[in-house]
Amino acid sequence: MKIAVCIKQVPTREWQPRLNEARTWIREGEASYEMNEPDAYALEEALRLKEAHGGEVVVCAAGPARAAQVIREALARGADRAIHVEHDRLGAAEGATVAAVLSEAMREEAFDLVLTGLQSDDQGQAQVGVILAERLGMPHSTIIMEVKVEDGRLRVKRELEGGWFQWIAMPLPALLTIQSGINHLRYATLKGIMAAKKKDVRRVTPADLPPARQRIAALYVPEKTKKTVMIDGGPQEAAKELVRRLREDARAI
């Protein structure tokens, strides 16, 4: 079974975002980075499917040269090889652009199964997986919590709202977007880290990126504010006013 896993390098959650002068993105040179969390769960699911059914796991990433960090991490966790679509503008690119360049690099591989994280921790649009499926001509399903391969077909469990789930049968090849928490993550061992240095990484450099379908007009960092309100009157009147404010203004009750 030939499985592709699309991973992304995103700023760490501990890093306090600092915006560029145009306020359209972060200061990338000052950020610390890590693997996107939903993508890490997709990678773990691919490794488990490989252990159960055989084959290989290929990690695919679109990003600037610094994305090699998460590629090597994925290889150290157990992926067999990697494809890196490298371009300086891919770090902040929209989902349609990322899906376009990934599809061109992945098409000739003829993967049986493609896994992506549900969404990225930086932009959170949940678009790369579904657009990539359309470009590759694959059926897809989203928000996956369980994957079973039976007789050359997929049986997957989707998370719905309100605690409901849905089971779907799908043919192969297919693309799935994986929800965080589907499994327990493994971490790279020293042996895996050493082995990753010898694994193949195919680098693809697009001549140019396709025209963007959208652009970020402005970003802002939420500001924390504190305001004290004094309620006058006797105890009964003050209690009634407090309840009213909690219900109508704060919507806490």
Average pLDDT, consecutive stretches of 10 residues, N- to C-terminus, the chain (253 residues): 97 88 86 95 98 97 96 97 96 93 96 97 94 97 96 94 93 97 94 96 92 86 80 90 88 81
Is residue 107 within 8 Å of 133, Cβ to Cβ?
no
Tokens in use for 56? 């290989």
φ/ψ region of 200 (left if φ > 0, alpha if ψ in -120 to 50, else beta) reads: beta
206-209: long-range pairs with CB below 8 Å, 24+: 206/85, 206/87, 206/101, 206/104, 209/87, 209/89, 209/90, 209/93, 209/97, 209/100, 209/101
Structure tokens at 188: 């790279």
Q: Are 70 and 61 in contact (CB under 8 A)?
A: yes
pLDDT of residue 221: 80
Q: Which residues does residue 86 pair with via DSSP β-bridges, in sequence order?
A: 63
Q: How far is 64 from 28, CA to CA, in rounded Å?
A: 11
Written out in words, the top-level CATH class of the domain with range 2-204 is alpha beta
Q: Tell me, what's the pLDDT at 229?
A: 83
3-state helix vs strand vs coil in the chain, percent to 5: 35, 25, 40
Residue 103 in tokens: 């599809």
**Strands 2-7 vs 113-117: parallel, antiparallel or unpaired:** parallel
Q: Do the beta carbons of residue 122 and residue 15 sit within 8 Å?
A: no
**Rg for the chain (alpha carbons), in Å?**
22
Q: Where are the domains of the chain?
A: 2-204, 223-253
Per-residue model confidence (pLDDT) at position 95: 94
HSE, CB side, 13 Å, CA atoms: give it for residue 61.
35
Taking the mean position of all CA atoms in its chain, how far away is CA 64?
Answer: 17
